[in-house]
Amino acid sequence: MKKTGLFYGVNTKKTALIGKEIQEAFGENKADIVAVEEAGKKSFEQYDNLIIGASTWFDGELPTYWDELLPELENLKMKGKKVAIFGLGDQEGYPENFVDGIGLLAEFFEASGAEIVGHTSIEGYTFEGSRALRDGKFLGLAIDQENQSDLTGSRIAAWVKQLKKEFN
């Protein structure tokens, strides 16, 4: 049985809420929650499927708990593993860097050999630029609690359904 790890900042405000909702959508005991604040290299390598989350801060930056962790993960060996990314952002407040964090994490984990899954359509979002874009799609799930919180539930449900397929 493949192990799934759900990584996010447990001390955050909004990201942690979304993380929990994703876990619920997966079903009980289907995914372990791992606090990014405490995670190390090994925490990542022990999973086959990873769901990782990050909001975007300060015009296109990862939150500092991610920033401080990434150097530790430099030689991470993720070949054969699948990584799905969810990101929080504000498309009205920061339309030039909407959910850039998804893109930053995708680039990082790709470089360590992982396959990025869980791409989603940009339909329904309005923004100007995003590092999370590739071939016209988001490299993960974009959640906008500031402007589209009413869509969050259905977005999560659809994404989790998609991941269950892609995570085999």
Applying CB under 6 A, the residues found at the interface with ligand FMN are 12-15, 55-60, 63, 88-90, 94, 97-100, 145-146
Nearest CA to 133 among 94, 164, 167, 104? 104
Q: Do residues 104 and 144 make contact, with C-beta atoms less than 8 angstroms apart?
A: no
Cα dihedral across residues 108, 92, 120, 32: positive or negative: positive
The SS3 call for residue 32 is strand
Provide, rounded to whole angstroms, the least separation between the CB of residue 37 and ligand FMN: 12
38 binds other proteins (CB under 8 A): no
Provide, rounded to whole angstroms, the least separation between the CB of residue 161 and other proteins: 34
For residue 117, the surrounding DSSP H or E stretch is strand 115-117
- x-or-dash pattern for other proteins, window 56-85, by CB under 8 A? -xxxxx--x--xx--xx-x-----------
**Binding site residues, other proteins, CB under 8 A:** 57-61, 64, 67-68, 71-72, 74, 94, 96-97
